[in-house]
Amino acid sequence: MGHLLSKNGYDLKKKSRKLRKKKKKRNCFLQGPCMLCFIVHGTSGSVEDDWPFESAAVSKVAERCVPLNSPEECARFLLSPGELAVWEGQGRSLLSKLIGPPALFCAVVPNYSEMVCKRKCAELQRCTPRKQPRCAFQEAMENGEERGDSRCLLPSLPSSSSSSSPSEEDGSGVGRHTDAGSASTSSSSSCCCQPSQNESLEETKSAENTDINQLPSSILLKVFSHLSVKERCLGASLVCKYWRDLCLDFQFWKQIDLSGLQQVKDDLLVKIASRRQNVTEINISDCRNVQDHGVCSLASNCPGLIKYTAYRCKQLSDVSLCTVAIHCPLLQKVHAGNQDKLTDHALKLLGEHCKELKDVHFGQCYSISDEGLVALAQGCSKLQRIYMQENKLVTDKSVQAFAENCPDLQFVGFMGCSVTSQGVIHLTRVRANRYV
């Protein structure tokens, strides 16, 4: 979203021009008279008929405010690209950026609650001025602009990075987890910004009792991050569906251990991947129903992966490990024992891309030979632990390569490989060697 505004003055003007256009169609992305409309579109003449201000207030505004009738004037008063970059860097929401500065020029509004996209209204979930993940906001903006919808895009933005329920068809009791383009938002087309009869009543009512579930989901996630896994698991996730979905939010799952779970299939891995959470460890050992596709999805979306464990996943081919190698340069541990289909090709890629590799286990990967291991040794000088077992194609040559290229070696296992005492002699020459 940042790039929408921050880098390019033109974009900034284009955007305010778009806003002005929308205003004429009564389609301001903030849905009707709001602070931004008010500031951007000027204080007189172009004010909407249903603008709730007294004329006195309007003229007072005119005194204090600079008339912003053109995109150029708007641009002066909106943040400069540099300032926007500062905001972007802090991950602030678009709303706070746009609303913030013009707030200084705001009128003394008789009924403030009707101005800005209100947080407390019937459509509770939709109108919270909260920090939205940028991608979600941009998505929604694009959607809104495409559709020409008069809906309040600001608030609820169920971003791709907000929680997604594992059972999406559920629709989730409180209807929060709608995707940007989903139907449920269009079903509630009357946005809170329109001072509608019933809503304003409920607004004032709920204004008095702020409910915990009215807090933005980002805040609830922050609260839950202070709980331990057990507390989330036994307490918070069982309170209501909304809390369940938040607790299952993968932001809490940097280290995912799915080992032995047969119900884990590619779709779960794809889901984890789509959350764009920076998973650091994944263990899919013994998950027979996971295929290359799932692993590749995960790997390509988790560049921060550090540990990959997949014992006995005989169904996986080279493709999985190759994709992991290519996309996860921070990889430190690869334990892929008992994967028959692994070949030297994957090892070569690991040697090329994963310079941080420290700990590898390729026991009983029968197709691996010296070629792959030598490439690995030459590429990964930080290797500390290497475990091979019954790899008949592995000979002293590999051992020598490790000895020569990996000064940090601590543990080497070559049981059942074609390694002779000659190889061992090479190793003993390695200084840091502690156990062979």
Minimum gap (Å) between residue 160 Cβ and another protein: 20
Minimum gap (Å) between residue 42 Cβ and another protein: 16
- 72 is an interface residue for another protein by CB under 8 A: no
- 80 is an interface residue for another protein by CB under 8 A: yes
Distance of CA 263 to the CA centre of its chain: 25
- 431 is an interface residue for another protein by CB under 8 A: no
* Of residues 256 and 336, the one with the C-beta less far from another protein: 256
For the chain, counts of helices (H) and of strands (E): 20, 7
- 253 is an interface residue for another protein by CB under 8 A: yes
**Between residue 150 and residue 209, which ones bind another protein under the rule CB under 8 A?**
173-174, 208-209
Q: Among all chains, which residue has been given the structure tokens 């008279």?
A: 33
Q: Closest by alpha carbon to 22, among 185, 156, 127, 151?
A: 151
DSSP string computed for 4-67: HHSS-HHHHHHHHHHHHHHHHTT--TT-SS-HHHHHHT-SSSSS-TT----HHHHHHHHHHSPP
**Buried b or exposed e, range 278-311, using 16+ CB within 10 angstroms:** ebbbbbbbbbeebbbbbbbbbbebbeebbbbbbb
**Between residue 3 and residue 62, which ones bind another protein under the rule CB under 8 A?**
35
Q: Closest by alpha carbon to 379, among 409, 402, 411, 408?
A: 402
Which of 216, 337, 363, 372 is the binder for another protein (CB under 8 A)? 216
**Between residue 267 and residue 296, which ones bind another protein under the rule CB under 8 A?**
281
Q: Among all chains, which residue has been given the structure tokens 């204080």?
A: 43
Determine the residue type at 370: D
Stretch that binds another protein, among 5-13, 48-56, 74-82, 149-157 (CB under 8 A): 74-82
Number of residues that bind another protein (CB under 8 A): 75
According to DSSP, the residues that pair with 256 across neighbouring strands are 282
Please tell me the distance from the alpha carbon of residue 321 to that of residue 308, in angstroms, as a whole number. Answer: 9
Stretch that binds another protein, among 80-88, 194-202, 310-318, 372-380 (CB under 8 A): 80-88
Stretch that binds another protein, among 22-30, 236-244, 311-319, 335-343 (CB under 8 A): 236-244
Which of 41, 119, 151, 397 is the binder for another protein (CB under 8 A)? 119
Contact 170, 210 (CB under 8 A): no
Minimum gap (Å) between residue 252 Cβ and another protein: 8
Stretch that binds another protein, among 47-55, 98-106, 321-329, 415-423 (CB under 8 A): 98-106
**Between residue 325 and residue 364, which ones bind another protein under the rule CB under 8 A?**
none
- 229 is an interface residue for another protein by CB under 8 A: yes
Binning the chain into helix, strand and coil, the percentages to the nearest 5 are 45, 5, 50
* Of residues 252 and 411, the one with the C-beta less far from another protein: 252
* Of residues 66 and 425, the one with the C-beta less far from another protein: 66
Minimum gap (Å) between residue 385 Cβ and another protein: 19
* Of residues 87 and 414, the one with the C-beta less far from another protein: 87
Contact 114, 196 (CB under 8 A): no
Which of 81, 100, 171, 416 is the binder for another protein (CB under 8 A)? 100
